[in-house]
Amino acid sequence: MSEKPFSGQVALVTGASRGIGAATAEAIAAAGAHVVLTGRDVKALEAVEERIFAAGGSATIAPLDLAEPDAIARLASAISSRWQALDILVINAAILPQLSSVTDIDGPAFNKALTVNVLATQALLAAFDPLLRKSVDARVIGLTSSVAEKPRAYWGAYAASKAAFEVLLDCYAQETRNISKIRVAIVNPGATRTAMRARAMPGEDPASVKPPEVVAERLVSLLGEQFASPHRDSVNSLS
């Protein structure tokens, strides 16, 4: 009988309908946690939930658009009415605007990316901080991108949003590490076989990059480690 290291814990994974989010949600559920799945695609969320149930896990879907006003506040209210604490928060959902030169960035698309990648991150941290503080072993993991640290031509909009994303998480980690048990990790998944990657790299052979399950495996392993906060990690292996 396999061990369930997260048995009795509650996890929230954003962008859980597909890709890294779905794989991570399934892996965390397999490790024993009850996982709350968020995303905009209801059918895709239901499919992930069904796979978790079929594997003997436990999950709840919570369809929402992170860009919608008050959506995160409503989610926090719903979760706090059912559970006393949140043990794991994986901030995975993100929007990749169309790649373009800085001078040609589409304003509305950039605003939406900033809303989901940055403003929603702050809202998630603010809304769930009280529940995270009630956990005896709270962990927050944010998925970033290499372009946040090493900007690349034509990636300005996305890179700027992920750089701001990292700053928010790093500051939150510094603000909480000495007064709570919350630990924060910023993880760069590296090149991964996702729909977002396919849009950004249309000529790339999908088989040349690792599947989301490799990232999920590392995230579950990291969640079980006693890392110092803030912690930075990357997942580069191909499986």
Provide the CATH number for the domain around residue 168: 3.40.50.720
Report residue 236's pLDDT band, with 50, 70 and 90 as the boundaries. confident
Placement of tokens 């149930």 in the chain: 53
Predicted local confidence at residue 237, as pLDDT: 62
- Alpha-carbon span 139 to 193, nearest angstrom: 25
How far apart CA 236 and CA 80 sit, in angstroms, is: 36
**Mean pLDDT (whole number) for 158-170:** 98
**Residue 180: which residues within 8 A CB-CB, separation 6 or more?**
132, 133, 138
Domain that holds residue 114: 10-234
3-state secondary structure of 76: helix
**Residue 239 pLDDT class (50, 70, 90 cuts):** very low
For residues 229 and 177, is the Cβ–Cβ distance under 8 A?
A: yes
**Structure confidence at residue 1 (pLDDT):** 41
Strands (DSSP E) found in the chain: 10-13, 34-39, 58-63, 88-91, 139-143, 183-188, 231-234
Residue 238 has pLDDT above 80, yes or no: no
Residue 177 lies in a domain: yes
The answer as to whether 2 is a domain residue is: no
In a domain, 73, yes or no: yes
For residue 6, the SS3 value is: coil
Q: Is residue 239 part of a domain?
A: no
Query: pLDDT at position 181, please?
Result: 96
2 — pLDDT class (breaks 50, 70, 90): low
Catalytic residues: 158
pLDDT tens per residue across span 52-94: 999 999 999 999 999 999 999 999 999 999 999 999 999 999 9
Number of domains in the chain: 1
Domain assignment present for residue 3? The answer is no
Token pair in block for residue 32: 């024993």
Whether 1 is covered by a domain: the verdict is no
